[in-house]
Structures are given as structure tokens and as C-alpha cells.
Structure 1
Amino acid sequence: MITFINRFTVTGPAEQFEHAFDETSAFFAAQPGFVRHRLMRHTQDPAAYVNVAEWQDEESFRTALDRPEFTAHRAALRALSTSDPNLYVPLYERSA
């Protein structure tokens, strides 16, 4: 399992960014190895968003990014935001 965390700073209209992200989300959800994700918006800074996505493995994630269909999604998000994407591996997890 890997976790992809991408911090976005929205530079365009928030509604357009959220729509573009929703379309990108549907694309990723249809890819092999995708597990789940959450898009969150900062409580004090409406331009700050974080995407936390879980994938079965890094290879599945990279394969999805390399698909030609992803190019349009990438361009749409980049036109409306800047981002800081990174991959992580889980170390500890605890639930109530």
C-alpha cells in the first residue's frame, strides 16, 4: 500500500478546480490498483486543498499517471492550481 499526498494551492475559481478534480477522481477510480482518496479543503484558507489517495502499489499509481488519458486531467488541474505531490508508505495506523 502507498499513499499519495498532493497539496494544492488553487489559483483559479474554486468551483472550476473542484469540478476538474472530480473528473480526475473518476478517472483514477477506474484504474487498477486505486483504493480510495479524499479531497479536503483547509478550514482557514479556502485556496488550500489536500488530496490523500491510497493505491495498492506504486506501480499501479505510476501506470495510471502514464496513461495518455491522464494528460487532459493534469492540464486542467495545472491551469487552476499549483501542487506539491509526494508518495508515502504507511508506518503506523491506529483507530478508535
Structure 2
Amino acid sequence: MSESAPETGANGTVTFVNRFTLHAAPEEFERVFAETAEFMGRQPGFLEHTLFRQLDKADGYLNIARWRDVESFRRAVAHPEFRPHAAALRALSTSESSLYTPRRTFAAAEASQRLE
């Protein structure tokens, strides 16, 4: 990340995307992930998350989490109580993650209205 403040969406929200590859049982990962999600859900600025399991690869998961702003996300992951959660997830998986800012949103209802 550059030294300057990251660009955010018009409303300031950011999206955290984390792709996991498991080296443990999916049930154990989902249990540990649920504990981490409970912690994150209590953090100021957390909006929502969805955990996806890859259809054609049983050891592949994707987490998409929305935060009110970059600062809220950074405070949450810097919180001392987050460290054991991160360690528990690392013990069960490898991951690749990034923060994103919304650029365009398109909804199906908008498409049907334009076709009329």
C-alpha cells in the first residue's frame, strides 16, 4: 500500500476479500471462522460478511467483508484480541487477502428497467 491514504467508495466503505485454502477439515475451519466472525462483528465499523465455499474445490473458501471505512478495518485487525483468531485460522489454512473500494454497482432490477 502507498504512503497516501487509500481511496474509498463514495460512502467511505471498503471491502475486505480473503481467499482461503484449507489444510484441515472444513467443519473445523468453519467453527474457527465463526468465532473470528463473532469477534469482528463486535468491532466498530464492521458492516457485514459472507463466507463462501467453493463449489468445485472442497478446500476453497472466500470471505467478503464490508467495513464502514479503512480505519475501522485496520483498528480491528490491530486489536490484541484479534491475534489468536488470526493464528487459529493460519493453523488451518493459507490465505490471500486484499482491501477493495467499490467502483461500480449494478443490480438486475436496473437492467430490466432499461430494457423497457
Q: Distance in 2 between matches of 1:59 and 1:12?
A: 32
Residue 11 of structure 1 and its aligned partner are, at CA, apart by: 0.7
Which structure has the larger Rg? 2
Alignment-derived partner of residue 7 in structure 1: 19
- What is the TM-score of this pair, normalised by structure 2? 0.81
Residue 13 of structure 1 and its aligned partner are, at CA, apart by: 1.1
Cα RMSD (Å) = 0.5
* Partner-residue secondary structure (3-state), 2:77: helix
Unmatched runs of 5 consecutive residues or more in structure 2 = 1-12, 109-116
Q: 1:17-96 residue pairs with structure 2 within 5 A?
A: 17-96=29-108
| Alignment length (residue pairs) | 96
* Partner-residue secondary structure (3-state), 1:39: strand
Unmatched runs of 5 consecutive residues or more in structure 1 = none
- What is the TM-score of this pair, normalised by structure 1? 0.98
Comparing both chains, which one has the higher relative contact order based on Cα–Cα distances under 8 Å and sequence gaps of 6 or more? 1
**Identity across the alignment (%):** 49
Residue 95 of structure 1 and its aligned partner are, at CA, apart by: 1.6
Structure having the higher strand fraction is 1
